Structure 1
Amino acid sequence: MSFNHHQRQLRLEPRENATLRLQVQPDQIDLVGNQLRLTGKLPNHAKVTAIYFLNDPQEINRFTSVSTTVNLMIVGDISEPLQSTNINEFDRRRYDEQSGILNTIKINEVQRITPVKAARFSAIILNGCHVARYRAVQASNQLPGSLKTYYQGLVLGARNQNFYEQLSGVKQLGLIHLFSISGLHVTLFMAIVERSLTVLKRSKRLIEWLLLGLLPLYFIFTGGATGLLRAILMAEHRLLANRLGFKVESIDNFGLTLLICTLIQPALLMQFGNQLSFGLAFCLLFLNDVSFIKQTLLMNLVSLPFILFHVFEWHVLSLLSNLLVLPLFSVVIFPLTFIGGVMGLKFQLIAQFVNVLIGWFNDCLNGIATLPGMITFGKPPLEGLVIVFVLTLILIGQRGRTGWIKLTILASYVVMFMGIHLPMNGEVTYFDIGQGDCFLVREPFNRSVSMIDTGGRLNFKTPGFRKVTARSRAETITINYLKSKGIAHLDGLYLSHKDADHTGDTPVVLRNLRVDHVYVPKGMQQNPDFLKRVKGLISTNRIMPLQAGNQPAYSPFKVVHPFKPGLGENGDSMVLYCEMGNLSWLFTGDLDRDGEREIIRQYPGLKVDVLKLGHHGSKTSSDPEVLKQLSPKVGIISAGRKNRYGHPNEETLATLAKLRIPYFNTQVDGMITYTFRNHQTGSWKTFLKENR
C-alpha cells in the first residue's frame, strides 16, 4: 500500500457536528487564553489537531486537571488544516500533512472525558512516558524565568507561547538549533546513564542493553522530534552493533537512519529543522579530523543555504557566536540547566542562583543580537542554493587547492543577492491578512518601497480568561514576505486611519523594519491613541500629516482625501492615488459614501483602473454614482473569511455586477499581486488560484 493511499484512507471528509472519540495524551493539551488546543488520535489511528473555545472560565479546571491519557467524546466540525494564503507564509496544511495530521476539528462540545486503561504492554509504556512528561512540565512551571524556559526547551522539548520572544537573541544569531533536542542531548543522556550505572558497578554489557531500551523512552519523553529520532537511531545502531560484535561505518549508519526516518515520515526532508539536522549530521561525518574553528566555519557554510531559503536573513555575528557559544553551551549551559532544573524543584536557592546565571547568558546573547550586522538577504532561487550547497560539499571533501571553490561560492551568493535587491519587476500586492488592509507598492529596482496600512487583530476579550498575545500577522505574513524579497526598509508607511484592522500592527512594523516616514491623514498625528501606539518607535518629526493635494517628495502617491483635519475616523480616511505599471490606482481606506462623493466633486475628471473598495466592501462605501464616474476596470476587496460584519456586503457585490466591474477578493483569492516592468503593462496573480 502506497503512503499517499494510506493517507487517503485516514483522511476524513469535512462535515459539521460530527460525534467523535478522540484519544489525547496529557502533554498534548495546551490552554492558551480561552483556547484549548490539542493533538490526538481517532479510533482509526488518524492524527488530528483540535481547538475548543471555552466560554465559561469554570471549564478551565475540567481540562487542566487532566493528568493521564484520556478519551474525549466530542461533537465538532471536521475540516482540513488551514492552507497558507500568501507567498512565503508558513503553510500549516502542508506542515501538518508532512507530520501525518490530515484533519482539523473545531470542537463545539466536549460531552465527556474518561481515563484510558491500556491493555497492551506497548500502550502502557507509551502512555506512561506521556504522563511522566506532562508531570515534569507541570513541575517545571514552578521554576523561575530563564531557567524555566531553558529547562523546558532543552530537557523536556516543551516551548511556551513566548519562547521565541524570550530567546530572541538565540534566534537572530542562528543558535536556535541548540534547542532542537538531538545529538548533543542524546550524548549527554547516554553519558549520565553510563556514569550513574558505572558508579553502581554495572557491567558495560548491561549498560548498553539498558540504553537500547531507554533511548526510545527518552524519545517519547522529550516530545518526539524527528531530529532526536535521527540521533537516537544512530546511537541505537552503534549500540546494537557493539552487542552483536560487528562494526558499523558512520556513513552506513547515517544512510540506514535516513532510510528508516523516511519510511516513518516520507516528507521528512521537506521541513527546515530536518534539513538542518540531517544536513549538518551528514557533513560532520567528514569533519572529525579538522580543527574546531574550521569545523564551525564549514558547518555554518553548510547551514547557510537552508537558513536563507527559510528565514531570509543572516547575522554576520552568527559565526563568532557559534564559535564562542557552542563549547560553553555543551560544557556549562546545558549541564547547568539540567542540574538547576532537577535540583531547583526541591531547593529554591539553587533554582534562583542558576536562573541568574542563565539570565545573564541569555541577556548577553540578546545584546549581541542587537548589534549591527543583520543582513536581510532575501529568498534565493532554489537552483542557486543547490549549486552553493553542492560546492560546499565539494569544499568539505576537497583536501587540495580549494581557492576556486571558495571564489565560486562567494560569487554565487553575490549574484543571488544583487538579483534579489535590484529586481527588474515592480509590484502592487494586496496581502490576505484576514479582516483588515495591508498593501505593498514597490517600483522596479526598489526605487521606492511603500506600505499602505499594516493590518492588525481586532481583539474581543473573553471575560474571565487571561489575555494572550499571539504573533501578529505582520510578522508571519507581511514582514516575512518583505524579507523574502530582501526588503528591510520602507520609504513610507501610509496609514489610512486609526482603526486597529488598519494600523494595529504599526508597532510591529516599526520594530522590524527601518521606516523613513509615517504618513497619516491630517489631524491623526494629534490623536492620543495613535501616539501611544507608536511612542518610542519613531520620532514625531517623522510622522507627516497629509491632506488632499499633497504629494510627499519622492513618493508615488498623490493624496485626494481628506479635505480637512480629523482624528483618523473612517470618514477621515487618507485616500491615495498613483500611476504605476501603466495603470492608475486608488486606495480608499474605510472612506464612507459621503467622502467618496466629496472626492468626485473636487476631482470631477478622476478615473482609475484599479479601485480598492472602501471599508472591505461594506455597503457604507462604494457609492454607485462614484463607481460610475471612476469607472474602474478592476475592483479589490480586502476582507476576512467568515468575518462577523458580513463583508463584502451583498449590496456592494450587486453594484459591481450591475456596473460590470470584475473584482478580486482576498477571501477567495488570497494574496493578490500585480507585477510589471518599467512603462509596461503587467499581469495579475492570485495566490490561491496559482496554488490550488
Structure 2
Amino acid sequence: MGLQATLKASWLVGALSLFVYRPNLLTICLALFFSLLAFLTTRGRDLIVVLALSLAFLLYFLVDQKALDRQANQPEKKRQSYTILAYPDERTTNSQGRVAGIGRLKSSGERVYYYYQAKDPEDLARFRSLAGPTLMTGQGDLTPMMSATNFYQFDFKEFAKTKRITHQVRLQEVDLRSNQAASWFDRLNAQFHHWHAILSDHAKALPNPVRNYALALLLGSKDQTLYDDNPKIQELGLIHLFSLSGFHVAFLITVIRWLGRLVGLYQELTLAIMALCLIGFYWLTACPPILVRAVIAGESRIFAQAFNRRFASIQIWSWSLLLTLVVHPQILLTLGGQLSFFLTLALAILPDYWPTWQKGLFLSVLTFPLIVAQQYTWNLWQSLANLIAIPVFSLVILPVVLVAFFGQVVPGLVTIANWLVTMFDQAVYWLGNLPGQIVIGALPWPILLVLGFAPWFLLGAEKTGRRWVVSTWLFAFLTGFSLVHFPRTGEFTTFDIGQGDAALLREPYNKSVTLIDTGGKVSFQKTGFSGQEATENKPYEKQSWPKNQEGQARTVIVPYLHAHGISRINTLSLSHQDQDHLGDARVILTTFQVDQVLLPAGMAGQPAFLKKIQPYLGKARVVSVTDQIQPANLPLRVLHPFQPGIGENEDSIALGGRVGPLVLFTAGDLDQAGEKKILAKYPDFRPNLVKFGHHGSKTATNPAVMAEWQPTYGLISAGRKNRYGHPNQEVLEIATRQKMIVYDTRRQGMLRYVYENHKKGHFQVKSTNDLTNSKTTN
C-alpha cells in the first residue's frame, strides 16, 4: 500500500472510531468526508486494501462498542459481595479516611472505580501499608456512572468509558488479603505496578513543585494538584509537556544512545536495549494510552535503523494511529489523543525550511479548535509559551527533574533543582497572568470543522490561495464568535450544584448578566480523622484557598458561562451569608470581571463577608441593598429585605421581575414570614415562575402566599440524597394543590427557561430520566 493510501486509511479508520463510539452530526460528517476522500482519490490495489482495512476496523469497533454497551447496561446491584483486585499505584487515600482507586472485579474482569470510607485511623492505615496487589472483599453497591447533570459540564461518565470503566463500587466493609498471581504475565505486571508505586513514593518525598513535575514527567502519575498549584499550565496549552509522549520517548532514546557510545557498546546492542527500554518504560508508567503512539513510533525508528530501512514520518504516523486504535479504540475521543496525533502529523508534513516561529504559529492555529471546543477559552500567549517552554523543557527542566529524583541523598541538590523548577513554574504563571485570556465560547460544530480543516490548505497553496484560506478562517471565526456572544435568546438557568443555590439570568444579546448566588461546599468533619486534607497552596497567589474547600462553581458555573461567551458579570447577587449560597464567590470573583456585588444591608460587616468575599473583590463595588435601593443594570427588582439585618434569613435578598413573558420570584433562604411580608407590601406582584426558597424546605414556602400568587411553574435546587430531606413533602403537596409544574435539579439536573424578548419561552432540562434513581450523589 502506497504512502498516500496508508495515510488516507488511517484518517478514515480514525473517523470511523469517532463515529462508532460517539455518534453525532459532527462525527457522521467526518466519517463521510474521509470515506469520500479515500474512495474518490484512491485507485486499484490500494483502494482494495483501504476498503478491507477500514471494514475490518469498523467491525472491530462495532463489536467492541457492543460489548461496552452490554457492560454499561448492567443494572444497579445493591448490598452484594464483591472482590476487587487493586494495585497500590492505582489507589489514593486522604486524611478524611476516603479510599478510592481503579480495580478489576475478580468475577468478570471489569474495570471499576471503587470507594471506601475508613471507620477510623487504624482502618485507614491498613490501606496505606499495602505494598503489592491486593484482593479487597466486602459488601457494597455496584452503580453505573452518572452523566454530567449540567450543560457544558465535563462529562466524567464519557471520559471513564474511554478507559472502559462504566461502573463504580461503594464498599461498606472491606477484608484485605494479598493476591498471589497465577501466571508469569500476572506476576510481571504486579512487579511493574509495585515498582511504579515505590518510585511514586520516592517522588512524593520531593518538595513542590519538583515533586509534581517528577510524578508527571517521569512516572505518568500526573495529579490534579499540578494544575491546581499552577492553573496557567492548562490555560497556556502546556498540558502536552506534562503528558508522557514522544517528547519523553525521544529523550529516553537520546540518553540510551549517549550512554551506549560512552561505554563503547555495539550499535546493534544499543538498539536492542532501546527497544526493550521503551517497552519497559511504557509498562513502568502504568501503560498510559497517550504513550502508545510514541512507543510505536520509537520502535519503528529503532527497527528501521537496525535493519537499514527507511520509513517516511507520515508512514510511521499512520501505522502508529492504526495500532494505537487497536489497543485503545477511543483514544481520539480524548483531548490528549487529539492533540498528540494532530500535532505529530503536522510536524511530519510541515516544510523543513519554515522558521521555528512560523511552525509554532501554525501549530497553535491547528490546535485552536480542539482546545476551544473543550475549554471555551484561548490565551494569546500560548504560541510564545510553547516556543519558549519546549526547548527549556528538553535542555533544562527534564534533566533537572531527573537529577532531583535520583539525587535526593546528595545534600543541597534537591534544593537547587527545586529552585530551578520553581523559576520555570513562576515564569509560566507570570506569562499566563498577562492580559490575553479570551473567552471564545462554545462555537457551533460546523464552524469548528472549518477552523480545523482550513489551515491544512495553507500547505502548498500559492499566495492567492493562502489569502482565501486565511479569509475563510477569519470569516468562520468571526461568525461563530458573534453567534455566541450576541445570542437572540435570554435565559433563567438554575445550576445543579448539589445542596446549594446558584442561578443565572442572562438577557438577550447578553445585554446584562446576573448571577444569583454561587453555591459552595458544606463540610462535615469525619469523626476520628484530622479533617481537612493537606493540600499545597498555589505558590504565586497572595490569597491561598485549598481546592478541596471549593464547591462545584469551577466545574459547573465557570464552563457554562464561558461556553456562552461570558467574561463579565454585571451583577453578582449574594442572597445571604450561608456557605451553600456564597461559598464559591471567590471562584467567580477571581475568574470573571464583576461590576457589582449585591449584599443584604448589614452583611458587609459580618465575618462571612470579611473572610470569603472582601479579599477577592478586586474592582467590583459592593452595594448593600434593601427594597428601597435598586441597583443600576439589574433586570429584577429587590423586594426584600425591608431594612438592614433583622436576623437569620430575614436579611435574605428576594428578587422579582419579568423574565421574558414570565414574572420570576427568587428569594434564597427567605422564610414563610418573609414571603408573607412581601405579599403584604407588594399586593400587585404576581409571579408565575417561583424558585422555592431554602431548597424546598417547609419553613420557607408559605401556603397562603402560594395560594394568592397561584404560580404556574416552580423550581427546586437541592442535592441528591441530601441529609436534610429537601424538598420537603409538604412543599411538594402545596405545589400539587396549586397545580404547579415543578422542575427539580435532583431529578432533572440543570433547569433552563429560554426566551426571546417577550415572546413565548420554553423550559429545558439536562436529563429526562429521573436522576434520583442513581446512587451517585453530587
- Range class of TM-score, shorter chain: over 0.9
Q: Which residue does 1:584 correspond to in 2? A: 663
Show CA shifts across 1:223-273 (max 9, x none): 332221111111122323444554333222222221222222222211111
Please state how far the C-alpha of 1:222 moved relative to its aligned partner. Answer: 2.0
Q: Which residue does 2:301 correspond to in 1? A: 238
1:25 maps to amino acid: Y
SS at match of 2:205: coil
Show CA shifts across 1:429-456 (max 9, x none): 1100000110000001111000000000
Q: Is the 8 A contact 1:497 1:568 kept in 2?
A: no
Q: Output the CA distance in 2 between the equivalents of 1:480 and 1:691.
A: 24
User: Is structure 2 residue 204 aligned with structure 1 residue 204?
Assistant: no
Q: Which residue does 1:392 correspond to in 2? A: 455
Q: Which residue does 1:271 correspond to in 2? A: 334
User: Is structure 2 residue 142 aligned with structure 1 residue 63?
Assistant: no
Q: Is the 8 A contact 2:595 2:620 kept in 1?
A: no
User: Is structure 2 residue 649 aligned with structure 1 residue 570?
Assistant: yes
Q: Which residue does 2:763 correspond to in 1? A: 684
Q: Is the 8 A contact 2:594 2:619 kept in 1?
A: no
Farther off after superposition, 54-63 or 245-254: 245-254
Show CA shifts across 1:111-141 (max 9, x none): 2x22222232222221111111110110112
User: Is structure 2 residue 231 aligned with structure 1 residue 168?
Assistant: yes
Instruction: Choose which of 150, 153, 167 in structure 2 pairs with 1:103.
Output: 167
Q: Which residue does 1:513 correspond to in 2? A: 592
Q: Is the 8 A contact 2:747 2:770 kept in 1?
A: no
Show CA shifts across 1:30-81 (max 9, x none): 1133211110111222110111122312222111111111111122110011
2:765 maps to amino acid: T
Matches within 5 A, 1:33-112: 33=95, 34-43=97-106, 44-111=108-175
Q: Which residue does 1:295 correspond to in 2? A: 359
Q: Is the 8 A contact 2:236 2:382 kept in 1?
A: yes
User: Is structure 2 residue 95 aligned with structure 1 residue 16?
Assistant: no
1:437 maps to amino acid: D
Gaps of 5+ in 2: 1-59, 534-546, 772-778
Q: Is the 8 A contact 1:182 1:228 kept in 2?
A: yes
Farther off after superposition, 642-651 or 4-13: 4-13
SS at match of 2:491: strand
SS at match of 2:514: strand
Q: TM-score, normalised by structure 1?
A: 0.96
1:488 maps to amino acid: S
Q: Which residue does 1:424 correspond to in 2? A: 488
2:583 maps to amino acid: G
Q: Which residue does 2:551 correspond to in 1? A: 472
Show CA shifts across 1:494-551 (max 9, x none): 0111111111001111111111110011111221222221132116981111112432
Farther off after superposition, 158-167 or 178-187: 158-167
Change (3 A) 1:93 1:540: closer
Change (3 A) 1:334 1:564: same
Show CA shifts across 1:390-435 (max 9, x none): 1111113536551221222122222221221111111111100000
Q: Output the CA distance in 2 between the equivalents of 1:327 and 1:472.
A: 38
SS at match of 1:145: coil
Q: Please, what is the CA RMSD of the aligned residues? A: 1.9
User: Is structure 2 residue 190 aligned with structure 1 residue 124?
Assistant: no
Q: Is the 8 A contact 1:169 1:362 kept in 2?
A: no
Q: Is the 8 A contact 1:80 1:103 kept in 2?
A: yes
2:459 maps to amino acid: I
User: Is structure 2 residue 439 aligned with structure 1 residue 360?
Assistant: no
Q: Is the 8 A contact 1:523 1:568 kept in 2?
A: no
1:27 maps to amino acid: D
Q: Output the CA distance in 1 between the equivalents of 2:478 and 2:663.
A: 36
User: Is structure 2 residue 681 aligned with structure 1 residue 627?
Assistant: no
Change (3 A) 1:399 1:73: farther
Q: Output the CA distance in 1 between the equivalents of 2:646 and 2:620.
A: 18
Matches within 5 A, 1:610-689: 610-689=689-768
SS at match of 1:55: coil
Instruction: Choose which of 88, 110, 115 in structure 2 pairs with 1:26.
Output: 88
Instruction: Choose which of 243, 250, 255 in structure 1 pairs with 2:318.
Output: 255
Farther off after superposition, 671-680 or 10-19: 10-19
Please state how far the C-alpha of 1:10 moved relative to its aligned partner. Answer: 4.1
1:20 maps to amino acid: Y
Q: Is the 8 A contact 1:308 1:379 kept in 2?
A: yes
Q: Which residue does 2:399 correspond to in 1? A: 335
Q: Is the 8 A contact 1:524 1:567 kept in 2?
A: no
Q: Which residue does 1:504 correspond to in 2? A: 583
2:690 maps to amino acid: L
> How many residues were matched structurally?
690
Please state how far the C-alpha of 1:664 moved relative to its aligned partner. Answer: 0.1
SS at match of 1:570: coil
Please state how far the C-alpha of 1:151 moved relative to its aligned partner. Answer: 1.1
Q: Is the 8 A contact 1:479 1:509 kept in 2?
A: yes
Instruction: Choose which of 464, 468, 471 in structure 2 pairs with 1:404.
Output: 468
Q: Is the 8 A contact 1:380 1:417 kept in 2?
A: yes
SS at match of 1:498: coil
Q: Is the 8 A contact 1:29 1:38 kept in 2?
A: yes
Farther off after superposition, 330-339 or 399-408: 399-408
Q: Is the 8 A contact 2:138 2:174 kept in 1?
A: yes
Show CA shifts across 1:583-618 (max 9, x none): 100001111111111111111222111000111111
SS at match of 1:319: helix
| Percent identical | 30
Farther off after superposition, 486-495 or 520-529: 520-529
Instruction: Choose which of 365, 370, 378 in structure 2 pairs with 1:306.
Output: 370
Change (3 A) 1:137 1:541: closer
Q: Output the CA distance in 1 between the equivalents of 2:130 and 2:441.
A: 45
Q: TM-score, normalised by structure 2?
A: 0.86
Q: Which residue does 1:448 correspond to in 2? A: 512
